[in-house]
Structure formats: structure tokens, C-alpha cells
Amino acid sequence: MSNVDASPRNNACPVGQLPVSGQRAPDGCPVSARAADFDPFTDAYQQDPPEYLRWAREQEPIFFSPQLGYWVVTRYDSIKAIFRDNITFSPSIALEKITPTSDEANAVLASYGYAMNRTLVNEDEPAHMPRRRMLMDPFTPEALKHHEPMVRKLAREYVSRFIDDGRADLVDQMLWEIPLTVALHFLGVPEEDMDTLRKYSIAHTVNTWGRPQPEEQVEVAHAVGNFWQFAGKVLDKMRQDPSGDGWMFYGIRKQKENPEIVTDSYLHSMMMAGIVAAHETTANATANAMKLLLSHPDVWREIGEDPSLIPNAVEECLRHNGSIAAWRRLVTADTQVDGVDLPAGARLLIVTSSANHDERHFTDADLFDIRRDNSVDHLTFGYGSHQCMGKNLARMEMQIFVEEFARRLPHMRLAQQTFSYVPNTSFRGPEHLWVEWDPNANPERKDAGRRASTMPIRVGEPSRHAITRQVIVDSVTPVAEGIVRLRLVAPDGKAMPRWTPGSHIDIDCGTPDLSRQYSLCGDPAETNVLEIAVLREDQGRGGSTWVHTQVKAGDRLTMRGPRNHFRLDEDAGKIVFVAGGIGITPISAMARRARSLGIDYQLHYSGRRRSTMALLDDLAALHGDRLHVYAGDERHNDLAALLRTPESGTRIYACGPAKMLRALEICSAHWPDDALRTEHFVATKGQLDPAKEHAFEVELKDSGLVVKVRADQTMLAALRAANVDVQSDCEEGLCGSCEVRVLAGEVDHRDVVLTRAERDANNKVMTCCSRALGGRLVLEL
């Protein structure tokens, strides 16, 4: 097939052939010196692709590489847009040999009848999507669950083989073989010839993404030819009795029903490509992850102490140091990327590992932060209609491996070594990963129970809810009747996470089931401490009573966050802050910020009696006559009078009892639509009642799927069941984490996050609670 064989390409300067309008050197050549030097087969790229391309991300986000004959794209937004549009940017060259091979090597391949063709990853529409949909079921989180015991058992057995040695090469002794075994099980292939397969799959990587020397090309061609024939033989065997378990059997059965969608050529090519897709990607990803984790001993210790951090840590590893460094697309119609004109026929190397370090999308992008709340946005699994189908199998394997190591070998460390990589553009992982430890200190020598895991695996994207942090209570101080102020610090005394006014944290009050949200009320400039004020509510769920009766200085607490869904509009012309009772906590931080920004503001603070009102002295000292205090036994805040005259450009920020917030809504009804912004800690809508709901469909523009949402199901649950990643946190319409853009259809908004104007704009939806008013919504997913 011409789309997969290497076609002759002109690697010379594109001037004259390609109408480029990008940066040009003084002589008119658009290829800058750095672009001309770009060589992804050098050790510098292999060791750290995002670092190697930092200059490009910053100065020349797309450039033509004469050595490669490809345009190289490096920024997050551009790469995501390319993934989104699989018509203008065809995936057909994804498996093409990046280095054209010699005639001799091609003849060798032909002698084996090698005819690698389109699979899924390099198939264009309209053929791709019906095939992807038809073959998706074995990948859904529900279907993947039954692989968990096998992965667990393999991980345990392999670790047991070397746990007493004190030293191991994790790649050779475990990480290469288990993903291969799992891949073979997943596909339904008999577990034989593993060593041969291992050689074959490396050869396939070099053949497709590498730059083998002419003499090596012939050897590689023999291995690839053998791999191809082996794949054919296995497939023939499976066809004889297609009733077995596994994705290839599933494909064979689907072919009987729909031979024009699941073709013969697809099955043979997939038999070979599928092993590589499932195996090397995951083996490399785990080796990269372990290298990264062990290079950060503090993080390694933390996840050993709190394995609930592992799912997000794995996701952060995939972002920071993923196993697919770059992918490819072919331009099918004249277009522009980053302001540069690209003609039809241009080949693109989209460097996803560079996108994953783009500061424009990831704050402190080079920092390895296992609590980063948008790690899951990484592009290591691609995005859109071709996004990796096996991502949740890979995540499951990685979580199990990391957890097994962290529990049984928490004292493991990286051995002194130089890391080597197979030179290629895309598949990336160290060939060896030597680690060492003192076997006498193995925890299971003292406690045999450490051999077994109790950590449940969540199949799917990590939940934000699981990102926890341990903090120490520095002090507990009464600040008003029934209110204590807690100052929280890091166990190592270092900086606490950064926050912005309006943020809150979640604290586990005695048990993870009793998690309560508290707004931060201190000063963000104080970087080593987080401050909250807690009102004792004996009629509540018990969280505040626990804080008041149990918590003392020196205690260790589990918290999540900070997260902010009550952000201050720093461009507001004027701000009216309204706080009732303990609602002063976020408002106090916001008013401090407004003051420091020089915004014109007023602060209206009401409470039952002065003695019940926290922070009064501090507020008076800071805000002077901008502060208006309404102690119930002295005077009331007349909200109607306060908001009588609407002012454009003025925002009202309010936090306090539900009654006060309702009154504010009524009194500000004649104000501009998004003037009022309130903080809710309790959802106002009740549970889903299937008797009162209707089912609807959501069309996913980027993934090309249509997902049915049953009357008894949230949109979030339906999307997850269809293998679509959507982040979530509160899952009750309070926090905004599950927001998705709406392209068409009317939303029945049930969250308390969006303002009136945002609801009316009908271009965002909180998928955890909101629904469709009609039969269909079109989402940007």
C-alpha cells in the first residue's frame, strides 16, 4: 500500500515547493539554523524531547526540518487542533516509515509477502469511525475490569522473583514481559514465542519510526517480515475457532457480520500493529514513570504512604515523560498552523511530548507535580477521533505496577547508570532501568501482609477527588463565639500549594467519608501556611463538630485542593462584597486582593452579634470605612437599598446563608446578567429521579461518537462508560471540574457554578448534573 510504504520525499529546503509565510532568514530561506539542525535521532532528543524543543515552543512553534522532510509542530493548542480535525490532518502516515529504506531492504520485506496496511490509527474517514465503533466494546472500563486480577497476579509474581536480590533491571526483568503478556491476553493470542516477539516488535519500531543504517535495514526487514508472517499464522489459527476471548477474536466475529468494515487486510495488519500498540507503549510508559518517580524520592515516599495518589501520579508521569514522544499527520488541503501556510501534502511531526510541557496550557510545565489537576489533559494518548483506545488498559497496568513497587519495595532507588534509548521519533523509554535496595529492609520480611494489595483500581481517568495531601495543624485559635481558626502547614515545613482568593480546600473530618469544604481566609502571599475558619454547626453532618472537639495543634489532617470556583474578576471596575456569618472567609481574602489591586470596593458583613463575627478587628484595620458591619442586634443590611441602582461594570461577590443568597438574587434581578457571583457549598438540586427525567443523546464532535444518556444516568456516567475522559470532583454541580463546551442543543442547567449570563449563552455544561432540554446535545469532546 502506498500509504504505508515509504514514498520518495524531498527533504530539501521547501522554498519554491512550499509557499511558506513563516519566519525567514535574511536570504529568504524559511528554515532557521536551529530548524536545520533538528535531528530527532540524536541522543539529545531521545533523552528529553521537550527540553530539546524548548526553543521552538518559545520562538518558532512550527518549523520545517530539512533533515526529516517534516514540519515539526510543538505547541499544545496547535497540536490539539490538529488532532481535532482528522480530515484536514489525515492520520494516514502514522505508521509510514519515517526513514525511507533501501531497495535491498524493501526486496527482503516483499519476499515475506509483507503488506502492512491500514489498521485504525492510520485509517481515514469514512472507513475509520465505523470500524472503531464496532471494535470499541472490549475497551470500555466495564469490559476491562476482568483483566485486573491477571495484571495483579503477574506483577506480584515478577516482583517476587527478584525481591530478595537487592538489584534489578526493571525493564528486562518485568516491564517488558508483563505488558507483552497482557497484550497477548487482551488480543487473545496464545502465549508463546515471547522472546522472538520481543525481537520482532523492536524491529517494527526501528522499521517505522527509526533511522536504521543500510546494513541494519536488511536485518530489520527480515525480523519485520517474520513478524508479519507470524501474525498471519496466529490469525489463521484463531479463525479456525473464533469463539475465544480477546479483541482479535472479537474482530474475527465482527468480520463475519460486517466484512466490508472489518476487512481481511485490517485483521492481518492489526494482528501485528496491535501487539506493538498495546505492548511497547505500556512497557516504555511504566519504565519512564518509574525513572521519574525514583528521581523524586519525596514523591516516591509520599505515594508509598498514600497509594490513593497513584492514579494521578501515573497521569502526571504520562504527561511529563510519556512513552509516545511524537505522532504524525498528513495535510490534505492548504491550511495554516501557528500562522504558517502549509500546502496539501505537507507532512507533520506533532511532538506531543513538547505540547505536554507547554507553559500556555500547564502552569510550571516542567515541574513534576503529582497533584496537578489538569495532568489528564496531556496528549500522550493523542486526542479526538483516533485517541488511544487502549488508554484505560495502559492506565490500569501502570497503576498496578507502581503500586506493587511502592508497597513492596518502598526503599527502592535508582542505581547509577546511563540511560539509552532506541533512536526513533516516537516510541520512547529507557532500554534498561537499574534499581537497587537493601533486601534486609524489605517490609514483607517483617509483615507478610505487605505482599497483598488492598488498593482498588479505578479504571478510567483519575478522579480529582483522589488528589490528597497531608498537612499538620500548626495552631487552633478561637476567633469568635463558636468559630476557630486553623493554620495548616506542610509536614516538611516547605511551601504549601499556591492559591487565589475565593479558593477552598476539602478536609477529611476523621474519615474520608466525612469530607467538608472550607474557604481559605488568609493571605496568599504567606506561602507556608493555609488558613481556614470553622464554625461549629451541631446540626450539621458532624464535620465542624469534629474539628472543634478533636483537632489540636500538631495533628495530621488529610486535605484536597485548593480549588477555586469562586474567582475574583480582577478587571472589575467596582466590587460590592456581601458576607453573612462564616461566609466572610472567602470574602475576606477577596477583599484583601481587591484592595491590593486598587479596585474600588465595599465590604458588607452581617452576623447575629458582634461576638459571633470572625475577623472583625483584622477587617476593620485593613479596610477602614470601606467595611460596613451589620450585627443583627444593632442593624440589618438592607440589600434592596444597597442594590437599588444597577451599575454596569460592578460585580457583587457574596457568600453566606442560603436565605441571604436568595434575597440577593431577588434584589439584583434588575442588574446586568452576570453581576452577581455567589459561593455555594451545598447543591440546591436533589438526586436524579429517573421517573421525571428523559433519555437523550450527546454527539461528541471531536471523537465522532454519539452516546446515549439513559434517564437514570448522568451525562458524566454515560461518557465514562463510552471510554471518554471527563474530569470531575464534586459530582453535584458545585465545582465546575466537569465542564464541557456545548456546540449545539439546549442545556437544562442544574449546577450552581454558572452565572445567569453563562447559562443563557448555552455554550457550557456541567456534565455531572445538567442534562439536555431536548433530545440531543453536541459537545466539544
- Of the pair 583, 733, the CB lying nearest ligand FES is at 733
- Of the pair 155, 393, the CB lying nearest ligand HEM is at 393
Prior bond of 456 cis (ω within 30°)? no
Examine residue 766 and tell whether it contacts ligand FES (CB under 6 A).
yes
Which does residue 83 bind out of ligand HEM, ligand FES, none, counting CB within 5 to 8 angstroms by kind? ligand HEM
DSSP string, 122-153: TPPTTTHHHHHHHT-GGGSHHHHGGGHHHHHH
Rounded Cα gap, residues 616 and 603, in angstroms: 12
Nearest to 659 by CA among 588, 754, 543, 578: 578
Residue 80 C-beta: closest distance to ligand HEM, Å: 10
Which does residue 737 bind out of ligand FES, ligand HEM, none, counting CB within 5 to 8 angstroms by kind? ligand FES
Which does residue 389 bind out of ligand HEM, ligand FES, none, counting CB within 5 to 8 angstroms by kind? ligand HEM
Query: In the set 459, 735, 765, 779, which binds ligand FES (CB under 6 A)?
Result: 735
Which does residue 390 bind out of ligand HEM, ligand FES, none, counting CB within 5 to 8 angstroms by kind? ligand HEM
- Of the pair 89, 696, the CB lying nearest ligand HEM is at 89
Residue 510 C-beta: closest distance to ligand FES, Å: 23
In whole angstroms, how far apart are CA 366 and each of 54, 178, 301, 314, 351? Answer: 11, 30, 21, 16, 16
Judged by CB under 6 A, the number of residues near ligand FES is: 14
Rounded Cα gap, residues 753 and 766, in angstroms: 8
- Of the pair 594, 734, the CB lying nearest ligand FES is at 734
Strand order in the sheet with 705-709: 705-709, 696-700, 776-779, 739-744, 764-766
In three-state secondary structure terms, 650 is strand
Nearest to 765 by CA among 714, 775, 748, 213: 748
**232 Cβ neighbours under 8 A, 6+ residues apart:** 268, 271
Q: By the 8 A CB rule, do 30 and 24 touch? A: yes
Residue 720 C-beta: closest distance to ligand FES, Å: 12
Which does residue 323 bind out of ligand FES, ligand HEM, none, counting CB within 5 to 8 angstroms by kind? ligand HEM
Residue 360 C-beta: closest distance to ligand FES, Å: 25
Which does residue 768 bind out of ligand HEM, ligand FES, none, counting CB within 5 to 8 angstroms by kind? ligand FES
Query: What grid cell was written down for 714?
Result: 448522568
Question: 336 pairs with which residues across the strands?
Answer: 341
- Of the pair 273, 591, the CB lying nearest ligand HEM is at 273
Prior bond of 141 cis (ω within 30°)? no
User: What is the signed CA dihedral for 511, 513, 514, 518, rounded to 10 degrees?
Assistant: 100
Q: By the 8 A CB rule, do 762 and 742 touch? A: yes
Examine residue 734 and tell whether it contacts ligand FES (CB under 6 A).
yes
Which does residue 589 bind out of ligand FES, ligand HEM, none, counting CB within 5 to 8 angstroms by kind? none
- Of the pair 58, 125, the CB lying nearest ligand HEM is at 125
- Of the pair 109, 740, the CB lying nearest ligand FES is at 740
Which does residue 101 bind out of ligand HEM, ligand FES, none, counting CB within 5 to 8 angstroms by kind? none
Residue 286 C-beta: closest distance to ligand HEM, Å: 8
- Of the pair 132, 487, the CB lying nearest ligand HEM is at 132
Query: In the set 768, 777, 779, 781, which binds ligand FES (CB under 6 A)?
Result: 768
Which does residue 734 bind out of ligand HEM, ligand FES, none, counting CB within 5 to 8 angstroms by kind? ligand FES
What is the pattern of x (binds ligand FES, CB under 6 A) and - over residues 693-732? Answer: -----------------------------------xxxx-
Rounded Cα gap, residues 524 and 498, in angstroms: 7
Rounded Cα gap, residues 100 and 118, in angstroms: 18
Query: What grid cell was written down for 572?
Result: 472589575
Nearest to 435 by CA among 635, 286, 538, 222: 286
Half-sphere exposure of 116 (CA within 13 A, CB side): 31
SS (H, E, C) 441-498: HCHHHHCHHHHCCCCCCCCCCCCHHHCEEEEEEEEEEEEECCEEEEEEECCCCCCCCC
Residue 274 C-beta: closest distance to ligand HEM, Å: 7
Which pairing describes strands 574-580 and 650-655: parallel, antiparallel, or unpaired? Answer: parallel
Rounded Cα gap, residues 265 and 114, in angstroms: 11
- Of the pair 175, 587, the CB lying nearest ligand HEM is at 175
Residue 186 C-beta: closest distance to ligand HEM, Å: 5
Rounded Cα gap, residues 345 and 348, in angstroms: 10
**691 Cβ neighbours under 8 A, 6+ residues apart:** none
**DSSP at 172:** I
- Of the pair 189, 488, the CB lying nearest ligand HEM is at 189
Residue 180 C-beta: closest distance to ligand HEM, Å: 11
Residue 85 C-beta: closest distance to ligand HEM, Å: 12
Rounded Cα gap, residues 158 and 170, in angstroms: 10
In whole angstroms, how far apart are CA 376 and each of 127, 311, 463? Answer: 29, 10, 10
User: What is the signed CA dihedral for 306, 311, 316, 317, rounded to 10 degrees?
Assistant: 90
Which does residue 731 bind out of ligand FES, ligand HEM, none, counting CB within 5 to 8 angstroms by kind? ligand FES
Residue 311 C-beta: closest distance to ligand FES, Å: 16
- Of the pair 377, 403, the CB lying nearest ligand FES is at 377
**DSSP at 229:** H
Based on C-alpha coordinates, what's the Rg of the chain?
Answer: 29
In whole angstroms, how far apart are CA 215 and each of 101, 218, 219, 222, 768? Answer: 11, 6, 7, 12, 57
Which does residue 188 bind out of ligand FES, ligand HEM, none, counting CB within 5 to 8 angstroms by kind? none
Which does residue 354 bind out of ligand HEM, ligand FES, none, counting CB within 5 to 8 angstroms by kind? none
Query: In the set 57, 751, 765, 771, which binds ligand FES (CB under 6 A)?
Result: 751
Which does residue 71 bind out of ligand HEM, ligand FES, none, counting CB within 5 to 8 angstroms by kind? none
Residue 779 C-beta: closest distance to ligand HEM, Å: 18
Rounded Cα gap, residues 155 and 455, in angstroms: 14
Residue 470 C-beta: closest distance to ligand HEM, Å: 29
H helices of 1-75, where?
A: 33-37, 43-47, 49-52, 54-59
Examine residue 654 and tell whether it contacts ligand FES (CB under 6 A).
no
Number of Cβ within a 10 Å radius of residue 781: 20
Residues that bind ligand HEM (CB under 6 A): 83, 91, 120-121, 132, 186, 277-278, 281-282, 285, 322-324, 327, 380-384, 386-390, 393-394
Which does residue 460 bind out of ligand HEM, ligand FES, none, counting CB within 5 to 8 angstroms by kind? none
Residue 758 C-beta: closest distance to ligand HEM, Å: 30
Examine residue 737 and tell whether it contacts ligand FES (CB under 6 A).
yes
- Of the pair 121, 738, the CB lying nearest ligand HEM is at 121
Q: By the 8 A CB rule, do 738 and 767 touch? A: yes
Examine residue 738 and tell whether it contacts ligand FES (CB under 6 A).
yes
Residue 482 C-beta: closest distance to ligand FES, Å: 29
The residue number whose beta carbon is nearest to ligand FES equals 768
- Of the pair 352, 728, the CB lying nearest ligand HEM is at 352
Which does residue 728 bind out of ligand FES, ligand HEM, none, counting CB within 5 to 8 angstroms by kind? ligand FES
Query: In the set 602, 733, 765, 772, which binds ligand FES (CB under 6 A)?
Result: 733
Which does residue 40 bind out of ligand HEM, ligand FES, none, counting CB within 5 to 8 angstroms by kind? none
Which residues would be at the binding site for ligand FES (CB under 6 A)?
728-731, 733-738, 751, 753, 766, 768
